[in-house]
Amino acid sequence: MERMALTRSALRLFSGRFTQACQVRGYADAPSMSLTFAAPSQVLYNNISVKQIDVPSFSGSFGILPAHVPTLAVLKPGVVTVFENDGSTKKFFVSSGTVTINEDSTVQLLAEEAVPVDTLDISAAKELLAQSQSQLASASSEVAKAEAEISIEVSEALVKACE
Amino acid sequence: SQQVRGMATLKMISIRLKSVKNIQKITQSMKMVSAAKYTKAERELKLARPYGIGAQEFYKKAEVKGEEGEKGQLIIAVSSDRGLCGAVHSSIGRIVKTDIAANPNTKVVIVGDKVRNILQRLYAKNIAMVVTEVGRKPAVFGDAALVAQSIINSGIEFSKGKILFNAFRTVVSFRTTEMPLYSQNAVANASKLPVYDSLDSDVIQSYTEFSLASLLFYSMKENATSEQSSRMTAMDNASKNAGEMIDKLTMTFNRTRQAVITRELIEIISGAAALETKN
């Protein structure tokens, strides 16, 4: 009888500690990723915790999840998709920039220009594409050709983002 | 002859008074203009701050260190073309001077005429490049990109570098700060760089070039805000001083005017008295 009471109280003590230990591990298991997504003239996310970010880069488009391996990448014109913690998704078109993923799971997405995709006008994008193509055709110097090619790349990505 | 002198002094005082009143009008309007520009600059700075701070994060997290190499030091001094803004330009000039005195192997890229004027006399051969037409309109990223591109195109090599600018604190205070600049070599030798995956020299080069433009843009925004707030304070003080001078001059003017009138009266009365006694 005594032994049972002892074991029962010991179990209660043990179980309490056990659930506490579980809780602590629980927090450690939910990793967080802090995103700072900004352009020179606007802030889109400032140290906000998000679930996932898809970025278009010159070394390929990739998705960033918490505890992603640290890396640097250069952004290509394209769409950045941010999956927020409450389940919503936001898409932004970026022109260029860099993305840094650090060891402590902080991500800095610095875009030269970033706009929400739903503010894009597909007819204006197609017009820009036609303009850049004619620019390339009439380009004379190497620099002008390169600038026209960049313009084409951006407008093609713009049109793709609108569709 | 004393009467003549009185009149002449009166004229002189009234000329002086008019000119000080004009000065007060000018400084007051300059203060209004600066206040408007300051509000805009501060708004844009608030939006640019996360960008600027984000651009410095990698160098902190990767623990990149400046090297002590023979390629020397690069200082980018951010100021503007316009004066009458308190200690904004002189504080930058002072720090550049002490820095060059400490490390003679230093190249300076100057953004804005004012610091160029400060450094021209003694350190002309340290000046690598000067950027003018700065400060009239608010800076945009394109401006910073242009400066960064010129620096890259000029082929300036450095082992360690910094951007000197005035960080904005409050309307009445700013702090002259420096932001470190790292060469591609320094990044490649960073202690935590191996942690970063799949980096080749192309990525590092693009990254350092883009962050040069980003950091420059951020420092230009901070400096512009500090400059406008400093000018606002300076012009406000100037208006107050002009106001004090006007009060003092008005007092002197009235006193002199009354003295002249009194003298005239005395002369008239003593002349009349002399005629009466003669009769």
* Model confidence pLDDT, tens digit, residues B220-248: 999 999 999 999 999 999 999 999 999 99
Residue A146: per-residue pLDDT: 87
Chain A residues in contact with B61 by the CB 8 A cut-off are 100, 102-104, 106
Each residue's pLDDT tens digit, B25-65: 999 999 999 999 999 999 999 999 999 999 999 999 888 88
B198 to A40: CB separation less than 8 angstroms, yes or no: no
* Residue B198 pLDDT greater than 90, yes or no: no
Average pLDDT (A142-162) is 86
- Ordered DSSP codes for chain B: -HHHHHHHHHHHHHHHHHHHHHHHHHHHHHHHHHHHHHHHHHHHHHHHHHHHHHHHHHHHHTT------TT-EEEEEE--S---STTHHHHHHHHHHHHHHH-SSEEEEEESHHHHHHHHHHHGGGEEEEE-S-SSS---HHHHHHHHHHHHHTT---SEEEEEEEEEEETTEEEEEEEEEE-HHHHHT-TTGGGSBS--HHHHHHHHHHHHHHHHHHHHHHHHHHHHHHHHHHHHHHHHHHHHHHHHHHHHHHHHHHHHHHHHHHHHHHHHHHHHHH-
Binary contact (B210, A98; C-beta < 8 A) = yes
Chain B residue with minimum CA distance to A34:
B54
Strand order in the sheet with B160-170: B127-131, B106-111, B73-78, B160-170, B173-182
Q: Is residue A155 scored above 50 in pLDDT?
A: yes
- Is residue B211's pLDDT more than 70? yes
**Would you state the pLDDT for residue B199?**
82
Q: Is the pLDDT of residue B278 over 90?
A: no
Q: How far apart are CA B36 and CA B81, in angstroms?
A: 19
Give the tens place of pLDDT for each residue, A4-60.
Answer: 555 555 555 444 444 444 444 434 445 778 999 999 998 999 999 999 999 999 888
Whether the predicted pLDDT of B193 surpasses 90: no
Q: Can you give the pTM of this predicted structure?
A: 0.86
Nearest Cα residue in chain B from A104: B61
Q: What is the pLDDT of residue A159?
A: 85
CA angle at residue B161 from B159 to B167, to 5 degrees? 165
pLDDT of B5 strictly over 80: no
- Residues B210, A110: C-beta atoms closer than 8 Å: yes
Residue A77 forms contact with B (CB below 8 Å): no
pLDDT (0 to 100) of residue B274: 92
What's the pLDDT at A8?
55
Which pLDDT score, from 0 to 100, does residue A14 have? 47
Please report the pLDDT score of residue A119 as a whole number: 87
- Cβ pair B57:A103 closer than 8 A: no
Q: Which of A43, A97, A102 lies nearest to residue B57, judging by beta carbons?
A: A102
Partner-chain residue, chosen from A69, A73, A112, that has the shortest CB–CB distance to B203: A73
Q: Which fold has domain B28-234?
A: Pyruvate Kinase; Chain: A, domain 1 (3.40.1380)
What are the residues of chain B with a beta carbon less than 8 Å away from any beta carbon of chain A?
Answer: 44, 47-51, 53-55, 57-58, 61-62, 140-141, 192, 195-199, 203-204, 206-207, 210-211, 214, 217
Closest residue to A40, CB basis, from B48, B62, B196: B48
Residue B279 has what pLDDT?
79
Q: Residue B161: which pLDDT band, with cuts at 50, 70 and 90?
A: very high
**Average pLDDT of B10-33?**
95
Task: Work out the mean pLDDT of chain A and round it to a whole number.
Answer: 82
Domain A33-118 belongs in CATH node 3.30.430.20 = no
Each as own residue / partner, the long-range contacts of residues A154-158 (CB below 8 Å, 24 or more positions apart, any chain) are: A154/A77, A154/A95, A154/A128, A155/A125, A155/A126, A155/A128, A155/A129, A155/A131, A156/A77, A156/A129, A157/A56, A157/A76, A157/A77, A157/A78, A157/A79, A157/A93, A158/A77, A158/A93, A158/A120, A158/A125, A158/A128, A158/A129
Taking alpha carbons only, the member of B72, B76, B31, B57 closest to residue B216 is: B76
Distance from CA of B172 to the nearest CA of A (A): 24
Tell me the per-residue pLDDT of B98-152, one tens digit each, with 9 for 90 and over. Answer: 999 998 899 999 999 999 999 999 999 999 999 999 889 999 999 999 999 999 9
pLDDT recorded at residue B79: 94
Nearest alpha carbon to residue B230 among B21, B90, B110, B46: B90
Each residue's pLDDT tens digit, B242-277:
999 999 999 999 999 999 999 999 999 999 999 998
**Option in A72, A104, A112 nearest B196 (CB):** A72
In this prediction, residue A24 carries a pLDDT of 40
Whether residue B207 and residue A98 make contact (CB cut-off 8 A), yes or no, is yes
- B-facing residues of A in 103-132 (CB < 8 A) are 103-104, 106, 108-110, 112
A102 vs B: CB within 8 A? yes
Q: What spatial distance separates the first Cα and last Cα of chain A, rounded to whole Å?
A: 76
| A158 in contact with B, Cβ within 8 Å | no
Q: For B61-107, what is each residue's pLDDT tens digit? A: 888 888 877 788 999 999 999 999 999 999 999 999 999 999 889 99
Kindly indicate whether the domain formed by A120-162 is annotated with CATH number 1.20.5.
Answer: yes
Burial class of A26 by CB neighbour count within 10 A (0 to 12, 13 to 18, 19+): exposed
pLDDT digits 0-9 by tens, A58-116:
888 899 999 889 999 999 999 999 999 898 999 999 999 999 999 888 999 999 999 99
| Beta pairing partners, B60 | none
Predicted pLDDT at A5: 54
Q: State the Cα–Cα distance between residues B243 and B240, nearest whole angstrom.
A: 5
Of A103, A104, A85, A90, which Cα lies nearest the Cα of A37? A90
Q: Determine the Cα–Cα distance for residues A53 and A108; give it in Å rounded to an integer.
A: 11
Q: What confidence tier does B175 reach under pLDDT thresholds 50, 70, 90?
A: very high
Mutate to test the interface with A, among B45, B49, B51, B215 (most CBs of A within 10 A): B51
Cα–Cα distance, B194 to B208 (Å, whole number): 17
Domain boundaries, chain B: 28-234
**Test mutation, A41, A99, A107, chain B, max B CBs within 10 A:** A41
